[in-house]
Each structure stands twice: as structure tokens, then as C-alpha cells.
Amino acid sequence: MNKEQPKYQQPLSAIYTELETNEQGLSKTTAQARLEQYGHNALNQQKTTTVLQKFIAQFKDFMIIVLLVAALIAAFSGEAVDAIIILMVVVLNAIFGVFQESKAEEAINALKEMSAPDATVLRDGQLQTVKSDELVPGDIVSLEAGDIVPADLRLIESASLKVEESALTGESVPVEKNAETLEAGDLPIGDRLNMAYMNSNVTYGRATGVVVATGMQTEVGRIAGMIENADETTTPLQANLTQLGKSLTILILVIAAIVFGIGMLRGSESLIDMLLTAISLAVAAIPEGLPAIVTITLALGTQRMAKRHALVRKLPAVETLGSTDIIASDKTGTLTQNKMTVEKLVLNQQLVDARATELPVDSHLAQTMILSNDTKIMSDGLAGDPTETALIQYNLDQGYPVDQLLTDKPRVNEVPFDSERKLMSTVHPLSDGRFLVAVKGAPDELLKRVTRVETDGQVTPLTKPVRDQILAINHELATQALRVLAFAYKEITTIPETVNTDTLENELVFAGMVGMIDPERPEAAQAVADAKSAGIRPLMITGDHRDTAEAIAARLGIIDEGDDDAVITGAELDAMSDSEFNHKVKQYSVYARVAPEHKVRIVNAWQKRGKVVAMTGDGVNDAPALKAADIGIGMGITGTEVSKGASDMVLADDNFATIVVAVEEGRKVFANIQKAIQYLLSANLGEVLTLFMMTMLGWQILAPVHILWINLVTDTLPAIALGIEPTEKNIMKHQPRGRSSNFFSGGVFSSILYQGLLEGGITLFVYWLALTYPVHASSSLAHADALTMAFATLGLIQLFHAFNSKSIHESLFTVGLFRNKAFNWAILAAFVMLAVTIVVPGLNGLFHVTHLDAYQWGIVALASFSMIIIVEIVKFFQRRHMRQA
């Protein structure tokens, strides 16, 4: 026997031989020996990291390392307070990161907890209950409605067995199972009708099966292994910050080395003076507050998103949403409601809308829908097969007296549903002593038993034209991906001695048909349209059949009606090589009959094209792709703990439209971080230029304490306030910036350069002006005043420039001066902190500055305010150029 051959292709005799078992099951002794050989029927528990390990891991970020170096530099220069402040920022950032990610590795544990606690198994020929984790290959297991399948089983016998496998396949309708050997190879899980898989649910019937795989060897175990081995993706934000940190470090080292070298060659400064100068340059170049600002901006974003039902588990996920190019969404429960609903009726041989049609109390169609039905009406809802509960729910919604009908016409006999004949019949007493036979089933099979048809209450013989008309309507409903059931009835005087299909299911009267579907969520179509208008491509990935997937996708607007080329099945995907699929991936928007590995492959293919991929899902089968995606989005209500544990973000309301809201918030977060970065780096460039030119010109330079204080004042409150700027107009009309973009894209880099040069140039001009036209005749006082005016200008010009940074390209007067009250208070507080060092007696001595008179303050204010005027003029020409381009 070929052991590589799938179990569903192997005859039972071959499986018994391979597993050394039979229909009587294993002995207790053999079972115990195999338990030691194979291990417990449980999933591996993922290794967890301690809080300390998580905390230490936060310090591996490159920008954090840069900040630690900055703290050392500040401490070396004697500024212990500044070193402590920087270290506090770093530690707080690490603590917040640990808090956000403390539950990031719960996926495997959640899978383990899903396992069924008990199983009914044959041991020594006797049925007994054992813990499911004690099952071993070769055990014979009994299944009944309501059971959770405890291991992967090859079915031995099946009696009307239906298994709900949506957590594995994404298909919402329970699958009818049988024990027949299948000849076809490479079947997706949903088509392996003689297999029952671990953690799926038995919704109807009963069966026995032989255990062919346990623990990590099961399909669920394979998924768990995929989650365990999945690589953690680096978010665009993390990549951008790492790149920024490296670039800044190189820049800092080069500039500091140049200044130190030139100063030593000139010989006019001592070694220690030039070392302190180089340190000042390094401190000026490092944006100490950037990681804290990024963290705070992201944290505030998560709070806003939580209020709108999007719960973020990992901070960088907020920004990643803003760069999303692709949303790959599971259909069942995400785009659809995960419940069957009656949508169409065929009444009097005419197709009508179910919601707009009220069936009369004496309607045979309504009666057969209710009577030929195994649904149980419970105090907390309906229990039973989703197709049957949909029929009852429809009649309840229409106000039909369901309870009264079931009371007046109790079931006295039946022919249960059989997957071969595809029919179900029940017998009910009538008030005149006769009996009503209610029959439902597949239309083509039911019509074989029909001889008459009811039209407007009149029963007439079924003619070929009428039969053809019914079959045509059936075909039309099928092409719309509706599941069609037909209903018939007849009245009999006595119940046959032998009740079976031959004695009961004949000479029937056709009553009508219903078309059912797992309907799309009401808001999903608009959410898809909003995503498309934002330049985001939605994909639908499902375990459902091709026709169903295509119809739902067309109704949602994911694909155009009849666009068959945009749909591909898992089998077709298997037939493609990776290179071929990567080449064709842009063609497909709908993936049907897929397995978990297909989903990961789809995500990876788009990522290889440089796209940022978000994956939504709620089932166990979605977890590997959720983890492989740039951002995994789990469902909070219908989602399994596995999918939630593997996600970066969870939708509290399971609403696809919430994703669009989250994308908007993500774009806003990125825009605000970008504004803060432009502000910080242009300000720091101005500081570096000022120090560099002062050194080159032999002027008295600003001390480390000046630079550190300016950084503390201007790099914190104003930059944080920029992080909470209101959303700019039309932010959801732009194309996604994608993976290739960074914080310097969109003209930001050039803006940083010219604005930094402008800040440094204006500061140097004020210094030169104060030296050239001194207020005091004393040379030492003139130099002290010039240094103080340069210090005040460098600080104040950055506060004015913060107003410029409220938008990259838009005018300050368009964005609005007073929309962000927190920003205005931050600027005021920062100005007070800057001014007190100059005007408060005692503090100016600590900061080595002098008092300035009104004339000197006027020069500082005018020079600093000119920053707004010049930048507004540049922005005007930038906008004009962008409109012409």
C-alpha cells in the first residue's frame, strides 16, 4: 500500500491493515502502548516568553539604541538630568510595548483548548467514554449530533451525518458525509466526504470512524504547526523607523567627526572643547522624542479605533492599516452573515422575493417547510441544521403560526433524509382522519416523484412544459449561488404498514421551491466600495463552491457580474507553480474551495509584489494567513480564539465596514507621524547647521545645555500635539502609499532640507546681526547677547515652524489655526518654558544667557515669524506645481 495515498482514497480494509485495527477497536493494552508511541491527542503548546524577555526585546529596536547612545552622550557632557529624561522615555516606551504584546502568542494555546474533552470509543469491543487526548490511531470512535469530532477520522459508516466544517473550510453549510471510498485525488477538505476532522461539529445524524491522525498530525495540528512556524512580518512603520535610525546614526557620526577633525586641525580649540562641540552636534541631530511621539500617536490612535469597535493588539498595526493595498477577506461570517436565509420563493410556478411575499395560513408550501423539518424551537432560539432553521425562521419572521401548526399536526411517522435519494418525508394527522405527507428535497430528485402541481390552490396534472419551467427556475436560482430546496405533499387515508421511500414518496403534489443563501452583510457592499475608492483592492477567499463565491463577490462589488476570469479555485491554484501564480495573481479577486496553505500562498504572492496585505478571518483555517499578513484582522464575535490570538487587530462588531474606518484612522496616524518627523528633523537640521557653521566661522557656539533644553521644549509637547491633528480632507481619496513609501515620501525629504537650512540660516543671521550691531559696547556682553538671541531664535523659530507642519502641502490657513486646541496650548507651554530661561533671574545664569531688551526680542520675534511667511510661499508654488503635474 502507498502510504502517501490520502486516507480518503484508501479502502477501509487497507486502513485497518495499516493501523492494525478492526471494527471492534483496539484493546486497552494496545491503546496504552500507542499512547506512549504517538503521544497525547493534543496540540503542541507554543513556548512562551517571560515579561522580562519581552521587556528586553523592546531594546533591540535601532532607534532605541540610538536614544541610549544619546543618553550616554548627555551624561558624558555632564547633563545628568537630560540623560535621565531620555532614559525615562526609553523605559516607558518599552513598558507600553510589553503591555500591548503580552498576549501575542496565544494562538496555539487557544487551539489546544478547543479540543473536545471526551470521546466515545470502542475498546475491547465495548463502547466507553475516554478523554479525547487519550485517543490513538486505530481507535474506533462513535459520533452523534452535537459532538465535536475529537480527531481526524476515516468514516466507517454514516447515517445522515452532517458536519459543520466552517472553521476549517470557510463553508457555512454543513457537509453531508458518507463512508464511500473516493477515487479523486488532491481533494480540498470540503470535498473529502468520507472524512471527519478534529474540532469540526456534528450537526445531524450519527457515524462511526477510525482514527487516522491525532494531535499535531491532524489537519488542525497542521494549521497549528503553520502558525508556530510562521515568520513575524516587519510592519512598514517598523521598517521606516529602523531605516530612519540607521540614516541618522550615520549622519550624526559623519558630521561630528568632520567638526571634530576640522576643529583639531585649526588648533584654536582644545581637545575637550572640540569633543563637547561634537557631542552638542550629536545631541542636536538626535530626535530624542521621536519614539515616544510615535508611541503616543499610535496609542491615541488605538483609543480612537477602540471607540469605533476596532481593537488593536499591536501598536504598529494602526499605522500598517493606513498603508494597506490589499484586504484579503474570508467570506463566511465576515462579508456574509454566516447564517442561511430564505431569499427567493417559487410559488405558483413563479419566482418571487421571499421577504415581499406573505404565505397564507393554509399554504401547503409553508406547511411542508415547517413540518418536514427537524429544527427544535428552544427558549433561546432555534437549534438544528442551518438550512432547516432558516426555513423555520423565515416563517416566524412572516408571522406564520409555527407553534400552532406543529401542535395541531404532530409528526407520527417519517422517512429520514438520505444523501442518496436527497429527500425527507414526514407524516402528520389531519382533522378529518386522513394524513398529510410533507416532503422536501433536491428539486431534480423530488420532481421524479411528482405527478401533480398546485397553482393558486388548484391541483392539476404536471405537464412537461410546467416541469421544464420549474427546472429552468431551479437553474436560474443555482446560477445565483442560491441553495434550492423543493417541497411537495399529498394526503393519504392510511399510513402504509411499511413506511419507506417506495410506499410514501410517490404521486406527490408540487407545492413550490425556496432559494436560500448565506447573505452578505448589509454594510459590506458599501465597505467594499469605500475600500475601492481608497485605492484598496478587496479579495474574497472562501471554502465555498466557485459559483457561490462568484455570485456573492459580484453582489458585493468585489468583481463585475460575469467576470469569471477573476475567480480561481484551490485545485486550479495547486496546478500553478509559484512563479506562474505570482505572475497571474493580479488577475484574481475571488478564491473558492481553498485550504489554509492556499491563503498563506495568496498573501505571500501579493507581498512579493511589494503590496501591504491585510487579512481578515474568523476560523481556525485563517490563523496562518492572519499571522503571515502584514496585518491580521480577527473577528471578535464569531471568531475563534485561535484567529484572535493570531491577529494584530480584532473587530469587536465583526463588521467589515469597521475595517474601512480603521484604514482611515491608520492613514491619519501615518500622516501625523510624518508631520512630527518633518517638524523634528527640520528643527534638528537647523540646530546642526547652526552649530556646524558657528564652529566653522569660529563664533562662540551654543552649549549642549542650550541644545538639550531647546530639544526638550520643542521636541515634546508641540510634536505630540501634531500627532493628534484632525484628519485632513480627502485622506480616503488618495491611493495607498504602499510598502515602497516611507516617511520621507511625498516631498517630505526636500521640505526637511530647505526648512532645516532656513531655520539654521535665520538663526545665524540673527547672531551675525547682533554681533554687527550690538546693543552693548562691551565685546563680551555683545557676544553674550548674540548667543542669547541665537538661542531664543532657534527655539522660537521651531515653535512657529510647528504651525507650518500642521500639513505637508496645505496652507496653514486652510488647515485651520484653532482646530487643534491641544496644539495651541502645547505651543504656549513650550514658549513659556523657553522664555523663562532668559527672563527669570537665576535661571539665565544656569543657562549662560543674558536678559534681552524689547528691541532684541523684536528682532528675535520677527526673524522667527518669517519662517511661516517663507514656508507659506514655498507651499503655494508646490501646490501649483502638483496641480500642473
Question: What residues are annotated to the active site?
Answer: 330
Q: Which of 691, 626, 634, 681 is nearest to 662 (CA)?
A: 634
Say what the alpha-carbon torsion angle 591, 594, 596, 600 is, to the nearest 10 degrees: -30
CA distances from residue 769 to 211, 692, 787 in whole angstroms, order as listed: 89, 18, 11
Q: Please, what is the end-to-end C-alpha distance for the chain in angstroms?
A: 69
Q: Residue 336 has what DSSP assignment?
A: B
Q: Are strands 423-429 and 413-418 parallel, antiparallel or unpaired?
A: antiparallel
- Whether the CB-CB separation of 869 and 876 falls below 8 Å is answered with no
For 47, residues 6+ apart whose C-beta sits below 8 A from its C-beta are none
- Cβ neighbourhood burial of 883 (10 Å; 0-12, 13-18, 19+): exposed
Q: Residue 333 has what DSSP assignment?
A: I
Handedness of CA 523, 524, 525, 531 (dihedral sign): positive
Residue where the block lists cell 499571522: 627
At residue 701, φ and ψ (nearest 5 deg) are -100, 155
- Whether the CB-CB separation of 544 and 679 falls below 8 Å is answered with no
Report CA 34 to chain centroid distance, whole Å: 41
3-class secondary structure, 313 = coil
Q: 72-104 burial by CB neighbour count: b if 16+ within 10 A, else e? A: ebbbebebeebbebbbebbeebbebbbebbeeb
- Whether the CB-CB separation of 412 and 429 falls below 8 Å is answered with yes
Q: How far apart are CA 314 and CA 649, in angstroms?
A: 7
Q: Which of 396, 415, 414, 417 is nearest to 405 (CA)?
A: 396
- Whether the CB-CB separation of 297 and 676 falls below 8 Å is answered with yes
Residue where the block lists cell 470512535: 141
At residue 205, φ and ψ (nearest 5 deg) are 80, -165
Q: How far apart are CA 11 and CA 529, in angstroms?
A: 50
- Whether the CB-CB separation of 154 and 8 falls below 8 Å is answered with yes
Provide DSSP, 53-92: HHHHHGGGSHHHHHHHHHHHHHHHTT-HHHHHHHHHHHHH
Maximum CA extent, the chain: 127
Q: How far apart are CA 266 and CA 279, in angstroms?
A: 18
For 226, residues 6+ apart whose C-beta sits below 8 A from its C-beta are 596, 597, 600, 623, 624
- Whether the CB-CB separation of 789 and 852 falls below 8 Å is answered with yes
Q: How far apart are CA 815 and CA 832, in angstroms?
A: 25
Handedness of CA 797, 802, 808, 810 (dihedral sign): negative
- Whether the CB-CB separation of 27 and 124 falls below 8 Å is answered with yes
Residue type, 718: P
Count the helices and strands in the chain (H runs, E runs). Answer: 34, 26
Residue where the block lists cell 540646530: 687
Q: How far apart are CA 74 and CA 62, in angstroms?
A: 19
Q: How far apart are CA 768 and CA 489, in angstroms?
A: 102
